[in-house]
Amino acid sequence: MNRILEPELMNSLEQTAAYAGPDMDNACWLFVQSFRKYFRNLTPKGTILDLGCGPATIPVRLAKLYPDYEIHGVDGAPEMLAQAGLAVRREGLQQQIQLFHGILPDKLTLPYKGYNSVISNSFLHHLADPAVLWQAIHAYGLPNAAVLVIDLVRPEDPQQAQLVVDRCLPEAPPMLRQDMLLSLHAAFTIDEVRAQLAEAQLEKNLTLTMPTPFQFAAYGHLGLDG
């Protein structure tokens, strides 16, 4: 099926509260487990930048696993950042996690020019132009930075998309199920992601795989020249 764009920013209170709730736990769990699996030899101290951090569920989990890492999250939706701020304060992680408002591809104002790791979960499919994410990874990743991007893969037809929603979010609120359906329509196929990596000259650095039947993961390290 053809790609149907969805709005880039998630800024409604209902949407952000639902997104911060327990229904999205599995997706965040998969991301954090994948990060641990792919990057077993991370330096003990460092910095992580999360692009499109949403309610900061992933930064919070990573902060607990990597207490000597500073984690910066960026999102373009003020309402989503408010949810993220609540989560960070609830967990008492203000010293370790900082949140920034920024809308890619605008230049981000961040404390560091480059990060040891650049990550992004379920963000690519929001972008009208997917090159924006891959360019940001080049722009904000230090040489040899660890990179992990996970997102949905667009199914072949609407029926398959509905099956994925039924399987992943059987009991979720209707709004969240509808959001996921729209996201599946907005997502890229694995061939499209492969072409994006080639276009961004990342295909030699990042391995493309499918950790589930409906998600891709692109992971690896940037080159020594960033």
Distance, CA of 143 to chain centre = 20
Q: Which residue has the tokens 């910066």?
A: 72
Confirm or reject binding of residue 75 to ligand SAM (CB under 6 A): yes
Mark the segment that binds ligand SAM (CB under 6 A) among 7-15, 138-146, 158-166, 201-209.
Answer: 7-15
Q: How far is the CB of 13 from ligand SAM (least distance, A)?
A: 13
**Measured from the CB atom, is 44 or 111 closer to ligand SAM?**
111
The dihedral formed by the CA atoms of 32, 118, 8 and 58, expressed in degrees to the nearest 10: 20
Site for ligand SAM in 79-118 (CB under 6 A): 80, 103-104
CB-based contacts of 157: which residues, under 8 Å, 6+ apart?
A: 1
Q: Which residues are paired to 179 by β-bridges?
A: none
Q: How far is the CB of 149 from ligand SAM (least distance, A)?
A: 10
Nearest by Cα to 217 from 186, 200, 185, 194: 194
Confirm or reject binding of residue 57 to ligand SAM (CB under 6 A): yes
Confirm or reject binding of residue 59 to ligand SAM (CB under 6 A): no
Mark the segment that binds ligand SAM (CB under 6 A) among 36-44, 62-70, 76-84, 190-198.
Answer: 76-84
Mark the segment that binds ligand SAM (CB under 6 A) among 4-12, 32-40, 86-94, 195-203.
Answer: 4-12
Out of 18, 48, 49, 58, point to the residue binding ligand SAM (CB under 6 A): 58
Confirm or reject binding of residue 47 to ligand SAM (CB under 6 A): no
Confirm or reject binding of residue 15 to ligand SAM (CB under 6 A): no
The encoded tokens of residue 119 equal: 């990550």
Q: How far is the CB of 224 from ligand SAM (least distance, A)?
A: 28
Nearest by Cα to 50 from 24, 80, 25: 80
The encoded tokens of residue 24 equal: 């999205």
Alpha-carbon gap, residue 215 to 78, rounded angstroms = 27
The dihedral formed by the CA atoms of 167, 8, 58 and 131, expressed in degrees to the nearest 10: 100
Site for ligand SAM in 140-159 (CB under 6 A): none
Confirm or reject binding of residue 122 to ligand SAM (CB under 6 A): yes
3-state secondary structure of 153: strand
Judged by the rule CB under 6 A, the positions of this chain that interact with ligand SAM are: 8-10, 24, 28, 52-55, 57-58, 75-77, 80, 103-104, 121-123, 126
